[in-house]
Chain A
Amino acid sequence: MPKVTLENLEKLAADAEAARAGMRADLCVCVGTGCVSAGSVALVDELKRAVKDQGLDGELKVTPTGCNGFCAHGPIAVIQPEGAFYERLKAKDAPTLIQKHFVDSTPLEDHMYRDPETRELVPLEKDIRFFAKQQTIALRNRGIVDPEDIADAIGRGAYRGLRKVLAEDMAPEALIQMLIRSGLRGRGGGGFPTGVKWQSCCAAAVERSETPYVVCNGDEGDPGAFMDRSIVEADPHAVIEGMIIGAVAVGASEGFVYLRKEYPLALERLYKALDQARAWGLLGDSVMGTDFAFDIIVHQGAGAFVCGESTALMASMEGRAGEPRAKYVHSVEYGYRNRPTVLNNVETWAVVGQILDRGPEWFASIGTGDVSESPWGGSSGTKVFSLVGNVNNTGLVEVPMGITLREIVYDIGGGVPDGRAFKAVQTGGPSGGCLPEGSLDLPVDFDTLQKAGSMMGSGGLIVMDDRTCMVDVARYFIEFLLDESCGKCTPCREGLTCLNEILTRITEGKGRDEDLGLLEDLGAVLKDGALCGLGQTAGNPVLSTLHHFRSEYEAHIRDGKCPAGTCKALIKYTIDPETCTGCTLCARVCPTECISGEKKQLHTIAQDECIQCGTCLDACKDDAVLVE
């Protein structure tokens, strides 16, 4: 295999592109975790076989790629360069797809995307509304690069930013200034200016004559979030390139990726990418033929949410229990093994190469950033979100900073399904906050979301419809956080326990008038008193729902009612005599067999035995099941 050098990178890239251009088409099949679960690995095999069977080996290439993002519609194949989009493919569809699209030159309509509103077929990916407003930097190679083939990545521009840094022999401070000018702020949730972080690390390293470390935080633990996983699965070389550049900037010779064990595919691809990068001379004693030496070691996290906190992560890497320590002295000064350490999140590392390649001004031109006065000015670039919950188009999206929540939820997400009303969107993961309809026109950036009582977090976005009880949502997140709290400090351990107790009581209809005050006090002690970032923000789900949906709490406490109709202790299911057709469906699905009634007769629910599971409600085709 070739050794990549400063001189030959461009030629290697040109060769890879030429090979691609020489083909008639490239069938890019998503092999991200979602599509793999839906059978896309077999699809790749069958497509390759079908290409061969049709004698099209020399003309068609089949490329397994990272997550396409439109997960709800997988497995997905996009035919490049034209961009034809096929969805919900099974392995058995492979011969038909090849036959129709390439031999008969007629599209395979059964597997084309149909716009839910217009009901019209949308043949090209770029015309699908889900993709229309997206702009990709971190995910730029998703769906087009084979993450297991370094040549393919180089063909798409990987390591060009690094080459620039090494070829121009850029001074660390100049490099750091470029990062600061770009306005890049940490994508893990903190929003700390990346260049400033590197600068502090450099200063500490010089002052103490220590070799610093660079660390990539891939311990994504928020329920429903899969941004980092998808980036590593789709484009591991972007992360590696970013880390090498970071190492040049701060003078590190060792880097670490902390990636959770529950991400087997991401781990597999990362290991392969690292092996290839070493073999190609991009890591090791002589990076790109220069005298710069750097290598990356992978630490597998055992799946503790708290290990996403930087100091807990480093404790875990050191072989100790993953518990945070006070950050009065930052880890850029005393981090991993007490050395100065730069820790950035996967997404942050993944955009660094691009910033160097295309220039900080290009990056700063996207989004709302303005660093002319302070590195904290606005939010530059794009942000990746995992869009989930009660939204039509669930998936992974990358949007420019400053886009509104409404655009994400409605234009990209396609709105709330089943014609239900939007109620809230939860941003920032479990310790983020819930924002109501009135906040939908807020621009999405670090500072605005924080001011609104939520946060950017690492990019979880959960849409909730009107059948979501906000007290129950707060209880759910508090329960999650209590389960994941390390238990080291009193406010987090005892505070969450008490919050959970009170919220549970409220959802059970046993709330008391003074409870709202107690919730606020406990939220405050977490914010001021907890040891780490996780604890300090753990009150957010309660405080933000209390702020925006206070009446819902009051309804539970004062009226004994759950307005959303989900708190089991407060609701009763009945069957409407007017609309019930006696179809017997509800009686058949009821797990406790408490629904009785003859065929074509009115059915009734025995309240004593009903467990409020809601199965009948979901099953009834005539909306005859009522919730009180």
Chain B
Amino acid sequence: MIQVTIDDKTLEVEAGTSIVDAAKSAGIFIPTLCHTDFLEPEGACRVCSVEIEQNGRFQVVTACNYPIRGELTVKTASERALATRRTVLEMMLARWPQVKVVRDLAKHLGITEPRFAHPQKNEDPHACILCGLCVRTCREGVWQNVLGFEGRGASRRVVMPYDGVAPECVGCGACAFVCPTGAIQMMDDPNHPADAARIRRAGMVVTKEMVLLDDDQCKMRRAGTAHLVEIMNDYDLLPVNNYRFGSSDDAHKISSPHFVKRFTQNIQDGCALGCDMACAKGSDDFEITTGPDKGKRVCVDGPEYETAGGTTNMGIFDPEWCIEMNYYCDHYGVDTISYCTLMAFVMECYEAGVLNKERTGGLELPFGAADAAMEVLHQMARGEGFGLVAGQGVRRMKKMFVADYGADPDFLNDIGMESKGLEYSEYVTKESLAQQGGYGIALKGAQHDEAWLIFMDMVNKQIPSFADKAEALHYFPMWRTWFGLMGLCKLPWNDVEPTDNAETDEPAKVPKHVAGYCDFVAGMTGQEVTPADLIRMSERVYNFQRIFNLKMGFGQREHDRIPYRSAGPVTATEYESRAERYDKQLAEEVDFDPAGKSTDEKCAALRTWREDRYEKLLDAVYERRGWTANGIPTLTTAKALGIDKMDGLVDLLTANGAAQ
């Protein structure tokens, strides 16, 4: 702490505190113009000039950006400081005599008429006074960087590049919001929304939160989703060795700082133009060490959490390898999640003896076999060797390995992490029944983007009963489906949250943001909507899709099955790695005394119990959704949603026992 005397008050402040902040905490007012809390101080306008004394030296400094690093005396209104401040305002008043903020500040300093004429005198009350707040907000605040200064000295002015309207400007309105003179006006939106201002107001809420809160919350702009690696590891949710385990002592080797260090593109990118969250990252100047681009230095788009989590799922803890794999998946058009999960399956098969060097074309593929795994990726792209097998995905590999190598089908079904043919994404769901449902019931297969309920369920214990879980598995999939309907990204909904979100009735839903989306729809269409209306939109589409799946031969209870690896420990090793947890569950919840029992016996007992609970969950969810016990929307449900007019729908539902 450093002692500082400001006018007649002495106080202690932390080293690095600005004079403005120190003065504010002492209740002393220093006028500012180009300064605001959420931007780095610039010291451009010089309105906050004060006089300081340090070691007998007197000096005029700007209070906004002068960091207090040693004992200091500040005179906020010394003659010299006031002379500077007054002349600054006098010059501004000479140039912009009608601008209110200038007039007010000048008046505050006792100036009504400037003593000199300004050759660029501008009588416009909304003239730009070059404070730069808009430029800095656009750059530092919303990371858009479409505003800048052009010209030097007297010809300085604020423009978009090449003096035009930059196509990169998304009209977020933050610049107009911070402009102290009203010099920035928003143009009409070419999409002709019913109420553009209402949309902008709704958008501004998220913009402000990103600017003010993100660094303390999810760091989406600094690290992107990669920040989840270490968090998932802490909560035993990071998949390791084909989802056997949820954490690893090696996880620190691939945690987000390793990636952040590589991220050179902490800027808006092409993911979604104008998104304030800007979570997509790029690693520039990355040298490729394998495959056709070996030796090239490339820009890699990513990695995101899933790609890093997929890497640990293969038992690989090398961030450089992860980035290279990310690059080749992008390059070849392969989904990183599917690649990682199918490779994890291949590796477990290799370790279990289902595969061997003969069957993989000479590749040794135990967990952690980074080089060989990369080679499989190249082979997949070239359509040769073992790549031809692996590239078909987990579901087909299971069938092939049973047919060709006589593998145990039950074992492969337990560990082959796919549902509806889609490989699992990278979270361990064993301890969250709700999330098992989130993966299993999802219409498109085992993806977490319909519902991510692990924390609510497993950590927070907010949804203990089947009915609670079913309600969550109704609301969240419907809510997330709505983003798909709108073509919106889900992340701004809950990867940054209002500071008072916790005090709302249902924090998990982020009610303020949901209200913002209602404003968005109303502003766009001119029709008022409620949160329930939004859910209704999704229910119509979601049920329609489920019925469509049914028509195509899917969409029944059997298709919502999940591999047991996602619900509990398949092998003794897995059980033993978390034995305390499982034993406790057996004793307290299953009514099975684990004492003296073999691991296999305990595994079996736990499995029976957990599989039964999953079936009960399906019953509860189907009921909540108005579906039959076989997971089919009933005719009543279809009618209620107004989707019953489809040709053949009644016959289809009747034929499948859902005519009620």
Give chain A's interface residues, CB within 8 Å of chain B: 304, 306, 321, 325-326, 328-329, 482-498, 501-502, 514, 518, 521-522, 524-525, 528-531
Whether B117 contacts A493 by the Cβ 8 Å rule is no
Q: A328-B65, A488-B132, A490-B130 are in contact. List 5 more A-B contacts (CB 8 A).
A: A328-B66, A486-B152, A491-B91, A494-B95, A531-B44
B118 CB contact (under 8 Å) in A488, A501, A514: A501
Q: Which residues of A contact B120 (CB under 8 A)?
A: 497
A497 CB contact (under 8 Å) in B43, B83, B119: B119
Whether A489 contacts B43 by the Cβ 8 Å rule is yes
**A490–B66 CA distance with the chains assembled, in angstroms:** 17
Q: Which 4 A-B pairs have the closest CB atoms?
A: A487-B156, A485-B153, A494-B91, A525-B87
**A518–B114 CA distance with the chains assembled, in angstroms:** 11
Name 7 A/B residue pairs within 8 A (Cβ), A-sorted: A325-B43, A484-B153, A486-B156, A488-B149, A491-B84, A493-B154, A518-B115
Q: Which residues of A contact B92 (CB under 8 A)?
A: 490, 494
A490 CB contact (under 8 Å) in B65, B88, B152: B88
A133 → B minimal CB distance (Å)? 37
Does B67 sit within 8 A of A, measured CB to CB? Answer: yes
**A502–B95 CA distance with the chains assembled, in angstroms:** 15
* Chain B 110-138 interface mask (CB, 8 Å, partner A; 1/0): 00000111111000000000101000000
Q: Which residues of B contact A483 (CB under 8 A)?
A: 152-153
Q: A497-B119, A497-B120, A525-B87 are in contact. Are A488 and B95 (CB under 8 A)?
A: no
**A396–B479 CA distance with the chains assembled, in angstroms:** 77
**A487–B46 CA distance with the chains assembled, in angstroms:** 13
**A391–B540 CA distance with the chains assembled, in angstroms:** 91
**A531–B151 CA distance with the chains assembled, in angstroms:** 18
Q: Which residues of B contact A486 (CB under 8 A)?
A: 152-153, 156
A328, closest chain B residue (CB): B66
Q: A485-B152, A531-B44 are in contact. Are A491 and B67 (CB under 8 A)?
A: no
Give chain B's interface residues, CB within 8 Å of chain A: 43-47, 49, 60-62, 65-67, 80, 83-84, 87-88, 91-92, 94-95, 115-120, 130, 132, 148-149, 151-156
A483, closest chain B residue (CB): B153
Q: Number of contacts between A and B (CB, 8 Å)? A: 116
Q: Which residues of A contact B152 (CB under 8 A)?
A: 304, 306, 483-487
B60 CB contact (under 8 Å) in A487, A493, A494, A529: A529
Q: A494-B118, A495-B91, A518-B115 are in contact. Are A488 and B84 (CB under 8 A)?
A: no
Q: Which residues of B contact A524 (CB under 8 A)?
A: 83-84, 87
Q: Which residues of A contact B130 (CB under 8 A)?
A: 487, 490, 493
**A518–B86 CA distance with the chains assembled, in angstroms:** 13
Whether B44 contacts A489 by the Cβ 8 Å rule is yes
A482, closest chain B residue (CB): B153
**A482–B118 CA distance with the chains assembled, in angstroms:** 14
B68, closest chain A residue (CB): A328
**A306–B148 CA distance with the chains assembled, in angstroms:** 18
A528 CB contact (under 8 Å) in B84, B115, B151: B84
**A529–B44 CA distance with the chains assembled, in angstroms:** 10
Q: Which residues of A contact B149 (CB under 8 A)?
A: 321, 487-488
Whether B67 contacts A329 by the Cβ 8 Å rule is yes
B267 → A minimal CB distance (Å)? 13
B263 → A minimal CB distance (Å)? 15
Whether B94 contacts A498 by the Cβ 8 Å rule is yes
Q: Which residues of B contact A498 (CB under 8 A)?
A: 91, 94, 116, 118
**A528–B49 CA distance with the chains assembled, in angstroms:** 9
Whether A491 contacts B61 by the Cβ 8 Å rule is no
**A207–B353 CA distance with the chains assembled, in angstroms:** 55
Q: Which residues of B contact A518 (CB under 8 A)?
A: 115-116
**A492–B119 CA distance with the chains assembled, in angstroms:** 15
Q: A328-B67, A501-B119, A525-B88 are in contact. Are A490 and B155 (CB under 8 A)?
A: no
Whether B154 contacts A521 by the Cβ 8 Å rule is no
**A485–B88 CA distance with the chains assembled, in angstroms:** 16
**A488–B156 CA distance with the chains assembled, in angstroms:** 8
B154 CB contact (under 8 Å) in A306, A326, A482, A489: A482
**A502–B61 CA distance with the chains assembled, in angstroms:** 27
**A326–B43 CA distance with the chains assembled, in angstroms:** 7
Q: Which residues of B contact A497 (CB under 8 A)?
A: 91, 95, 118-120, 153-154
Q: A490-B92, A491-B46, A494-B92 are in contact. Are A522 and B153 (CB under 8 A)?
A: no
**A490–B43 CA distance with the chains assembled, in angstroms:** 10
B84, closest chain A residue (CB): A529
Q: Which residues of A contact B115 (CB under 8 A)?
A: 514, 518
Q: Which residues of A contact B119 (CB under 8 A)?
A: 497, 501
**A498–B114 CA distance with the chains assembled, in angstroms:** 11
Q: Which residues of B contact A490 (CB under 8 A)?
A: 44-47, 88, 91-92, 130
Q: Which residues of B contact A488 (CB under 8 A)?
A: 44, 132, 149, 156
B66 CB contact (under 8 Å) in A304, A326, A525: A326
Whether B154 contacts A528 by the Cβ 8 Å rule is no
B47, closest chain A residue (CB): A490
Q: Which of A483, A490, A495 has the most CB of B within 10 A?
A: A490
**A497–B153 CA distance with the chains assembled, in angstroms:** 9
**A490–B149 CA distance with the chains assembled, in angstroms:** 14
**A304–B156 CA distance with the chains assembled, in angstroms:** 14
B41 → A minimal CB distance (Å)? 8
